[in-house]
C-alpha cells in the first residue's frame, strides 16, 4: 500500500522568517496538497537559549498571510501532538539511553573549559573519531568512573558514535545518489546537559512519531543527513525512514553564496515575509507584506525560485501551483534572488487584481497617511485607473493621492521655462469648456480644437495640464484624471496653477 503523504515545516522560534524558510514551507504544502496529504507545522524550540518571545506567533502569522495553512500545528492539534518539541522533552531520553545501551552513542563529561582548551590546541577541532579517545567520556573512562559521575549528576551530554570507515548513502529525490564517509563526520551531541535533545535526535524521533513521509529541507542540511540516517538505522526504524528532498539554496543576487538578512539590509530589499521587531533590541527588520507585496505574488515568486512547470508560464495562483507542482521540476542548482523580478511578479498580480480585492488594502494605506476614504465606488474607479502603474501596494498612495488632495506644490522646472501669457489664456479658455458629463475623449477633443484655435500643438500643452492637476509628470491619461476629479475640481486646479505658473 502506498504510504500516505505527511510532510512538516519545522522552524525554530528564534526571530524573523526568511523567505527561504517560507519557500520550504510552500514546497512542503504544495507536495502535500498535490498528493491529498497533510502539511504539519512543528515548532523546534529545543534550544531554549535562542528562543525569542513572539517568534512562534510571528511564524504562524506569516504562513497565514501566505495562505499556507497547516493541517496540524500547535494552534490546531491533530493526533500526533504535542507540536512543540519542548513539550515532548520526556520522550527523547529513552532514545538516547537506547543508543548508549546498543553502543551507538556515549556519555561525554568534557567541561566547556576543556573543550575550549582543545580548540586552542587543535586548529579546526572536531569531536569525533580522531579525538574522542583523548577526551573525558564513557569510551575512555571505565564503567566505575562513568557510574560515579552519573550518580553525582556530573554535567554531561550524549554524543552519537560515528562508525569508522563506513559510507552512508541515500537517494535524494532531487539530487539522486548521495554518499558520505563517516570518518569525516563528527560525533554530534544528541542530548544536552539540560536534558533537552539537539536538533539531530529530536528531528528523527519526531518525524518517526508523526509518521512523516517526506522531509523537505534546505540544501544546507545535507551535511547532517548521514547522522540522521544512522539514527533511523540505529533506532531500528530504517524501514520507516522518510524520503529525502534537499531544496536548492536561494542565492544572493550575484549568485555568490546564500541570501542572508545582511544582503537585504545592504542592497535595500526585505528577506523576511513580514516585519519583525526584535523584542530585545527593538530593531525592526522590514518584510515583504509591509513593503507592499500581495501574498499571492510573494508565494508565486517563491515557487519560481528553484522550480518551474516546464513551460514559459510565470504567473501561478496557489491552486495552479498545487496542480502543476512536481519534484522532477525542482532544480538542483541554487536560484539567484532578483528583487526587480520580485517586483515584476507583484506588479502583474496588482494589475490583474480586481478593484474589489484591492479596495481594503488601498483604504488602509490611505488611512495610515491620515486620509479617510469613504466613497468606495469612487475609490474603485481610481484603483482601476492607476493599478497598472503600481509595482507595490504602497505605490497606490503616491500614485493617486492627487485624486483626493489637491497638489500643494508643482514641478515648476518642467513648466516655467516655456510658460507664456498665451498658454495662460488657453487654459482660461479651456476651463470654460469643462463641464460634468463629458468623457475623457470629449475633453481631449475640445482640448485639441481649442489648442489649434490658439495656435498651439496639443503636445505643448499636455504637460502643463498634467502638472496643474497632479503636481508632477506622472499618472494615467490626463483627461481621465480630469473626468475623475470632476468639472468643479478640475477648473479650480487650473485657475490655481495659472496663478502659480505666472
Active site residues: 261
Say if CB 273 and CB 66 are below 8 A apart: yes
Grid cell at residue 64? 497565514
Cα 250 to Cα 33: distance, rounded to the nearest angstrom: 23
Cα 379 to Cα 373: distance, rounded to the nearest angstrom: 8
3-state secondary structure of 409: coil
Say if CB 302 and CB 337 are below 8 A apart: no
Three-state SS annotation for 193-258:
CCCCECHHHHHHHHHHHCCCCEEEEEHHHHHHHHHHHHHHHHCCCHHHCCEEEEECCEECCCCCCE
Cα 89 to Cα 112: distance, rounded to the nearest angstrom: 23
Cα 47 to Cα 14: distance, rounded to the nearest angstrom: 9
CA atoms within 13 A of residue 286's CA, in its CB half-sphere:
13
Cell 528564534 belongs to which residue? 14
Cα 31 to Cα 143: distance, rounded to the nearest angstrom: 49
String of DSSP letters for 33-68: HHTT-EEEE-B----TTS--TTHHHHHHHHHHHHT-
Q: Residue 18 pairs with which residues in a beta bridge?
A: 272
3-state secondary structure of 24: helix
Cα 421 to Cα 405: distance, rounded to the nearest angstrom: 27
Cα 159 to Cα 145: distance, rounded to the nearest angstrom: 18
Cell 496663478 belongs to which residue? 499
Amino acid at each position: 500500500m502506498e504510504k500516505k503523504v505527511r510532510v512538516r515545516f519545522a522552524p525554530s522560534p528564534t526571530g524573523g522568517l526568511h523567505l527561504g524558510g517560507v519557500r520550504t514551507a510552500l514546497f512542503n504544502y504544495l507536495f502535500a496538497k498535490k498528493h491529498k496529504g497533510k502539511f504539519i507545522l512543528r515548532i523546534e524550540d529545543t534550544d531554549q537559549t535562542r528562543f525569542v518571545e513572539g517568534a512562534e506567533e510571528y511564524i504562524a502569522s506569516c504562513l497565514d498571510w501566505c495562505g499556507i495553512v497547516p493541517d496540524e500545528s500547535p494552534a490546531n492539534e491533530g493526533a500526533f501532538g504535542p507540536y512543540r518539541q519542548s513539550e515532548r522533552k520526556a520522550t527523547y531520553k529513552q532514545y538516547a539511553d537506547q543508543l548508549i545501551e546498543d553502543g551507538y552513542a556515549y556519555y561525554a563529561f568534557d567541561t566547556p573549559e576543556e573543550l575550549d582548551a582543545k580548540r586552542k590546541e587543535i586548529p579546526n577541532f572536531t569531536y569525533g573519531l580522531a579525538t574522542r579517545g583523548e577526551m573525558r567520556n564513557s569510551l575512555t573512562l571505565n564503567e566505575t568512573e562513568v557510574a560515579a559521575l552519573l550518580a553525582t549528576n556530573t554535567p554531561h551530554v550524549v554524543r552519537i558514535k560515528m562508525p569508522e570507515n563506513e559510507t552512508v548513502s541515500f537517494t535524494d529525490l532531487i539530487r539522486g545518489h548521495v554518499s558520505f564517509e563517516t570518518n569525516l563526520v563528527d560525533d554530534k551531541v544528541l542530548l544536552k546537559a539540560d536534558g533537552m535533545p539537539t536538533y539531530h535526535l529530536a528531528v528523527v524521533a519526531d518525524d518517526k512519531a508523526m509518521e512523516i513521509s517526506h522531509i523537505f529541507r534546505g540544501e544546507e542540511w545535507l551535511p547532517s543527513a548521514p547522522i540522521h540516517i544512522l539514527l533511523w538505522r540505529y533506532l531500528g526504524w530504517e524501514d520507516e525512514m522518510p524520503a529525502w528532498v534537499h531544496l536548492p539554496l536561494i542565492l544572493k543576487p550575484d549568485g555568490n553564496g546564500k541570501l542572508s538578512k545582511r544582503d537585504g539590509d545592504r542592497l535595500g530589499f526585505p528577506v523576511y515575509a513580514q516585519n519583525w521587531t526584535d523584542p530585545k533590541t527593538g530593531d525592526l527588520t522590514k518584510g515583504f507584506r509591509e513593503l507592499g507585496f500581495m501574498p499571492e505574488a510573494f508565494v508565486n515568486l517563491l515557487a519560481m525560485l528553484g522550480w518551474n512547470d516546464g513551460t514559459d508560464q510565470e504567473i501561478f495562483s496557489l491552486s495552479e501551483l498545487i496542480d502543476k507542482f512536481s519534484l522532477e521540476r525542482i532544480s538542483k542548482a541554487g536560484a539567484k534572488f532578483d528583487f526587480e523580478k520580485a517586483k515584476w511578479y507583484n506588479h502583474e498580480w496588482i494589475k490583474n487584481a480586481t478593484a474589489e480585492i484591492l479596495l481594503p488594502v488601498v483604504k488602509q494605506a490611505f488611512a495610515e497617511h491620515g486620509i479617510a476614504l469613504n466613497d468606495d465606488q469612487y475609490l474603485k474607479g481610481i484603483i482601476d485607473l492607476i493599478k497598472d502603474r503600481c509595482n507595490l501596494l504602497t505605490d497606490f498612495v503616491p500614485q493617486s493621492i492627487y485624486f483626493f488632495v489637491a497638489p500643494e506644490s508643482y514641478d515648476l522646472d518642467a513648466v516655467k521655462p516655456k510658460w507664456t501669457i498665451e498658454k495662460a489664456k488657453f487654459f482660461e479658455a479651456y476651463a470654460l469648456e469643462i463641464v460634468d458629463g463629458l468623457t475623457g475623449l470629449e475633453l481631449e477633443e475640445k482640448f485639441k480644437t481649442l489648442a489649434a484655435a490658439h495656435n498651439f500643438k496639443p503636445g505643448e500643452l499636455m504637460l502643463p495640464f498634467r502638472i496643474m492637476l497632479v503636481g508632477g509628470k506622472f499618472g494615467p491619461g490626463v483627461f481621465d484624471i480630469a473626468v475623475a476629479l470632476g468639472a468643479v475640481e478640475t477648473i479650480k486646479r487650473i485657475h490655481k496653477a495659472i496663478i502659480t505658473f505666472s
